[in-house]
A and B are shown apart, each in its own frame.
Chain A
């Protein structure tokens, strides 16, 4: 099976712009979670989607949003970008909700100038 894929791999944006990141889970996986990874904060949970519904949400402002499509592919959007949004954004998929292994994608490196 192909692994989790994320596009694009790298992005450079300026403050105030918005960005959309895409994640394709492993075939058959229905749960997709998003994380923000920064050197000082580690992996911080953004949100989880399952069956096209947001099931869990982390402590991020409303500028961060996401969605999931019927084929389980997921997108996250960040509006009104700030310098502090520069990070590696990782998505992870698992077969179902609950306490299962999460399979991570390679990440999207976002740089906000």
Chain B
């Protein structure tokens, strides 16, 4: 069945450094790839998404890249800040099908 693998499971960076989280999906028909951020004790919130007709999307310090041939997509956070510390989930879906989430990456940004 559909599967989304996410790496790494934990990531520690120094404030100001960049962080990269990678995901691989199995269903080549997937065409929508959102990223959600979940702070401790809070609900997941969408931070950025990309559709398969584009290869990259940026929003201030956050960017997502998509490689359809390799079936992987990545989240890039530049100039990390302590408030970026959270668990990040990637997900994939096709058409009106369900969202399949990765297992999450716990990002810690040390001041």
The total of chain B residues at the interface (CB under 8 A) is 25
| Interface contact tally, CB-CB below 8 A | 54
Residues of B with C-beta under 8 A to A105? 43
Residues of A with C-beta under 8 A to B101? 35, 42-45
Q: Return A57 CB to nearest CB of chain B, in Å.
A: 8
Q: Return A66 CB to nearest CB of chain B, in Å.
A: 13
**Given A90-B43, A104-B45, A107-B43, does the pair A56, B97 have CB atoms closer than 8 Å?**
yes
**Contact between B43 and A56, CB atoms less than 8 A apart:** no
Residue of A40, A42, A48, A98 ringed by the most chain B CB atoms within 10 A: A42
Residues of B with C-beta under 8 A to A41? 103
Q: Within 8 Å of chain A (Cβ to Cβ): is B1?
A: yes
Q: Return B22 CB to nearest CB of chain A, in Å.
A: 15
Residues of A with C-beta under 8 A to B99? 33, 45, 102
Q: Within 8 Å of chain A (Cβ to Cβ): is B93?
A: yes
Q: Is the interface of A mostly helix, strand, loop or mixed?
A: loop
**Contact between B103 and A42, CB atoms less than 8 A apart:** yes
Residues of B with C-beta under 8 A to A43? 44, 89, 91, 101, 104
Q: Within 8 Å of chain B (Cβ to Cβ): is A28?
A: no
How far is B45's CA from A101's CA once the two chains are assembled, in angstroms? 9
How far is B48's CA from A78's CA once the two chains are assembled, in angstroms? 33
* Chain A 85-113: CB-based contact to B (< 8 A → 1; otherwise 0): 00000100000011101101111000000
CB pairs A–B below 8 angstroms (12 shown): A42-B102, A44-B101, A45-B98, A45-B99, A48-B98, A56-B98, A99-B31, A99-B95, A99-B96, A101-B34, A101-B49, A104-B43
Chain A interface residues (CB < 8 Å from chain B): 4, 33, 35, 40-45, 48, 55-56, 58-59, 90, 97-99, 101-102, 104-107
- 3 nearest A-B residue pairs (beta carbon): A99-B32, A42-B103, A43-B101
